[in-house]
Amino acid sequence: NAGVMQNPRHLVRRRGQEARLRCSPMKGHSHVYWYRQLPEEGLKFMVYLQKENIIDESGMPKERFSAEFPKEGPSILRIQQVVRGDSAAYFCASSSVPQETQYFGPGTRLLVL
Amino acid sequence: GESVGLHLPTLSVQEGDNSIINCAYSNSASDYFIWYKQESGKGPQFIIDIRSNMDKRQGQRVTVLLNKTVKHLSLQIAATQPGDSAVYFCAENKGSARQLTFGSGTQLTVLP
């Protein structure tokens, strides 16, 4: 009964590099959500995806950030040309249907040097 | 220059006592509310949820109360244990929107 899986758990990048964060939803879940958490803050919504579709990206920065959820394989959150302000914990959640309980993964902690 | 950090509200309780964590939500259109527990270095863990057509819901050692009149949500933990020490977040789902909106969190510390 695997839960939501994320990798890597920790990622260190230098300014200007690319960061790729992966999320595999719970078995049977086809709805994936990405959130970002800064220290001592709550989680902030970034994007909501279903297989092969971005449904809501209202929380995504307009530049450098992109997300996908292909037909096969995990969902990917990609951050191009990372800056120090991108340092945060990035969490993925999944649900079986929209507006039902979202279950979270362990997160990827990104540190930009 | 000086950096200012955000400080979470804190609650300290004696082991065995009951804990009450409060949350005010913003949108009267929200119809689904969830409490999550987050331990250091981990992802949020689902505790309990409640829909807007209910005032109260009970789980194992936890109860969530919803007061729609004043847009207030509370989480009650009975017989608090050391393993309950964590940050607790309330989250709301606004109508047709899919994303959750999280509160700022409360740090619960259980004292021996």
Both tokens of B18, joined, read 């009951």
For residues B10 and B107, is the Cβ–Cβ distance under 8 A? yes
Contacts of residue B32 in chain A, CB cutoff 8 Å? 99
Contact A33 B49 (CB under 8 A): no
Phi, psi values for residue A84, rounded to 5°: -60, -35
Beta bridge partners of A6: A23
CA distance A62 to chain B (A): 18
**In the predicted structure, residue A14 carries a pLDDT above the cut 80:** yes
Q: What is the pLDDT of residues A31-63, one digit of tens each?
A: 999 999 987 788 999 999 999 899 999 999 999
CA distance A104 to chain B (A): 6
For residues A101 and B34, is the Cβ–Cβ distance under 8 A? yes
Q: What is the pLDDT of residues B34-86, one digit of tens each?
A: 999 999 989 999 999 999 999 999 999 999 999 999 999 999 999 999 999 99
Could you tell me what percent of chain B has a pLDDT over 90? 69
The Cα–Cα gap between B51 and A84 comes to 39
Give the pLDDT of residue A83.
Answer: 96
Q: Does A9 touch chain B (CB under 8 A)?
A: no
Q: Does A10 touch chain B (CB under 8 A)?
A: no
**In the predicted structure, residue B3 carries a pLDDT above the cut 50:** no
Both tokens of B94, joined, read 């606004």
* Residue among B98, B101, B105 whose CB faces A55 most closely: B98
Give the pLDDT of residue B4.
Answer: 40
The Cα–Cα gap between B78 and B92 comes to 23
Report residue B109 CA to chain centroid gap. Answer: 14
User: SS3 of B30, please?
Assistant: strand
Question: How many residue contacts between A and B have a Cβ separation below 8 Å?
Answer: 65
Give the pLDDT of residue B2.
Answer: 37
Q: Is the peptide bond preceding residue A8 cis, with omega within 30 degrees of 0? A: yes
For residues A89 and A77, is the Cβ–Cβ distance under 8 A? no
Give the pLDDT of residue B6.
Answer: 46
Give the pLDDT of residue B96.
Answer: 62
Give the pLDDT of residue B83.
Answer: 95
The Cα–Cα gap between A20 and A67 comes to 10
The Cα angle at residue A7 between residues A66 and A75, in degrees rounded to 5: 40
Contacts of residue A42 in chain B, CB cutoff 8 Å? 89, 91, 102-105
Query: Is residue A99 very low, low, confident or very high in pLDDT (cuts 50, 70, 90)?
Result: low
The Cα–Cα gap between A75 and A61 comes to 18
CA distance A99 to chain B (A): 6
* Residue among B6, B98, B102 whose CB faces A43 most closely: B102
The Cα–Cα gap between B29 and B97 comes to 10
